[in-house]
C-alpha cells in the first residue's frame, strides 16, 4: 500500500524556527511595551504624588533596596526557610494524598467511607488551622508544615479522585479483553490515565501552599518571606515590602513551573492533544 503517511514531524530545526517566530513577534513587542508603560506609570505616580497609588514605593527605591538586600544573607535565608516549609508540607501532602486519592478513586466503598470526613474538613481554610496547629504540634516548624500540608492535600486528593473516576470505560474493557489482571489494570491503565490529574493537583496545590505559607508566616513565625514582608511593614521599611511581594511571586512561579516541567516529562503524550 503506497499510502502517503502523514506523520507528525517535529524536528529540532522547525521547533527553533517556531520559537524565534514567537519570541520576535508583534505580540511580544506589544507585551514588552505594556510592561514598560506600567513601570513608567508606577514611577510617575510616586514622583507626582498621586493619591493612594502614590504611596506605594516606586521602582527606583525598590531597585535601590534590592541592591542592598541581595548581599544580605538573612534575605536568602528567608527564601530557604519558606521553600523548605512549602516543599516539606507539599511532599507530605503528595505522599499521603496520592495513594489516598487513588484508592478513593478506584474503590467505591472506601470512597464512600472517606469522602464525608474529607468534605467536612475541606471548607476550613488552612489558615484557620494555624492557632490549632500551633497548640497541638510540638514545634513551630511542624505546625507550619502541617498548615502547608493542608493547603496541598485536599487539592491533590480531589483532583485524583476526579481523574480516576473519569477514566473511559473503553480503556478498562480493552485492557480486560487483552487478558489483563487487576494488577495490570492498575499499573497500566489507572495510573497513567490519572497521571495528568495528579500533576494538575500538584500544580494547583503548589500555588495554594505558597499562599498559605506566606500568610502563616505573617501570623505565627519569625522567619521566612512572609515574615520578612510583614516585618518590613512594621519597621517602616516600605520598599522591602515590595521586594518581599516580588520574591513570593517569583518563588511561587518557580515552584509551579518546576511542577509543570516534571509533569510534562512524565506525561509526554499530552503534548500532542
Partner 1 sequence: MAEPEGSLKLDNPSGSYRAETAVGPSAGKISIRNVSKTYDPDGANVKAVDNCSLEIGAGEFCVVVGPSGCGKTTLLNAIAGFHSISSGEIYLDDQLLCSKTRKAEPGADRIVVFQNGALFPWYTVLENVICGPVVQGKSSSKDAKAAAAELLGQFGLSEIIHNYPGEISSGMRRRVEIARAMISNPKVLLLDEPFRAMDALTKSVMHKYLLDVFDKTRKTVFFITHDLEEAIFLADKVVVSTTRPARIKKVIEVDLPRPRDFLVLSTERYRELKMEAIDAVHEEALKAFEAGERELA
Which residues in this chain contact partner 1 in the complex, by CB under 8 A?
Answer: 1, 3, 5-8, 168, 170-171, 173-181, 184, 188-189, 192-193, 195, 267-269, 272-273
Q: Closer to partner 1 by CB, 184 or 211: give it.
A: 184
238-266 helix and 73-106 helix, angle to the nearest 10 degrees: 40
Q: Closer to partner 1 by CB, 175 or 245: give it.
A: 175
In whole angstroms, the minimum distance from the beta carbon of 168 to partner 1 comes to 8
Cell of 10: 517535529
Rg from Cα positions in the chain: 24
In whole angstroms, the minimum distance from the beta carbon of 204 to partner 1 comes to 21
- Give the 3-state secondary structure of residue 10: coil
- Give the 3-state secondary structure of residue 180: coil
Q: Closer to partner 1 by CB, 189 or 216: give it.
A: 189
Name, in order, each residue with C-beta under 8 angstroms of 206's C-beta and a sequence gap of 6 or more. Answer: 86, 90, 152, 252, 255, 256, 259
Q: 224-243 in b/e burial notation, b at 16+ Cβ within 10 A?
A: bbbbbbbbbeeeebbbbbbb
Q: Closer to partner 1 by CB, 114 or 185: give it.
A: 185
140-165 helix and 73-106 helix, angle to the nearest 10 degrees: 40
Handedness of CA 164, 92, 223, 220 (dihedral sign): positive
Q: Closer to partner 1 by CB, 59 or 263: give it.
A: 263
Q: Closer to partner 1 by CB, 181 or 222: give it.
A: 181
In whole angstroms, the minimum distance from the beta carbon of 193 to partner 1 comes to 7
Whether the Cβ atoms of residue 212 and residue 226 lie closer than 8 Å to each other: no
Amino acid at each position: 500500500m503506497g499510502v502517503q503517511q502523514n506523520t507528525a514531524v517535529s524536528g529540532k530545526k522547525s521547533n527553533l524556527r517556531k520559537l524565534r517566530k514567537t519570541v520576535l513577534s508583534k505580540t511580544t513587542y506589544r507585551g514588552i511595551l505594556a510592561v514598560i508603560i506600567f513601570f513608567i506609570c508606577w514611577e510617575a505616580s510616586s514622583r507626582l504624588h498621586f493619591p493612594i497609588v502614590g504611596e506605594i514605593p516606586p521602582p527606583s527605591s525598590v531597585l535601590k533596596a534590592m541592591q542592598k538586600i541581595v548581599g544580605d544573607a538573612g534575605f536568602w535565608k528567608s527564601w530557604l526557610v519558606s521553600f523548605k516549609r512549602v516543599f516539606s508540607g507539599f511532599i507530605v501532602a503528595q505522599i499521603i494524598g496520592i495513594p489516598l486519592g487513588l484508592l478513593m478513586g478506584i474503590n467505591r466503598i472506601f470512597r464512600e467511607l472517606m469522602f464525608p470526613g474529607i468534605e467536612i474538613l475541606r471548607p476550613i481554610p488552612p489558615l484557620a488551622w494555624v492557632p490549632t496547629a500551633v497548640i497541638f504540634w510540638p514545634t513551630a516548624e511542624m505546625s507550619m508544615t502541617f498548615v502547608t500540608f493542608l493547603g496541598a492535600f485536599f487539592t491533590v486528593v480531589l483532583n485524583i479522585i476526579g481523574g480516576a473516576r473519569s477514566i473511559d470505560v473503553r480503556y478498562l474493557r480493552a485492557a480486560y479483553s487483552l487478558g489483563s489482571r487487576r494488577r495490570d489494570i492498575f499499573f497500566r491503565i489507572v495510573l497513567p490515565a490519572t497521571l495528568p490529574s495528579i500533576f494538575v493537583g500538584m500544580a494547583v496545590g503548589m500555588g495554594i501552599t505558597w499562599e498559605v505559607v506566606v500568610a502563616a508566616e505573617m501570623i505565627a513565625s519569625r522567619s521566612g518571606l512572609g515574615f520578612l514582608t510583614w516585618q518590613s511593614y512594621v519597621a517602616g521599611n516600605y520598599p522591602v515590602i515590595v521586594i518581599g511581594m516580588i520574591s513570593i511571586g517569583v518563588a511561587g512561579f518557580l515552584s509551579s513551573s518546576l511542577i509543570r516541567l516534571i509533569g510534562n516529562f512524565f506525561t509526554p503524550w499530552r503534548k500532542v492533544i
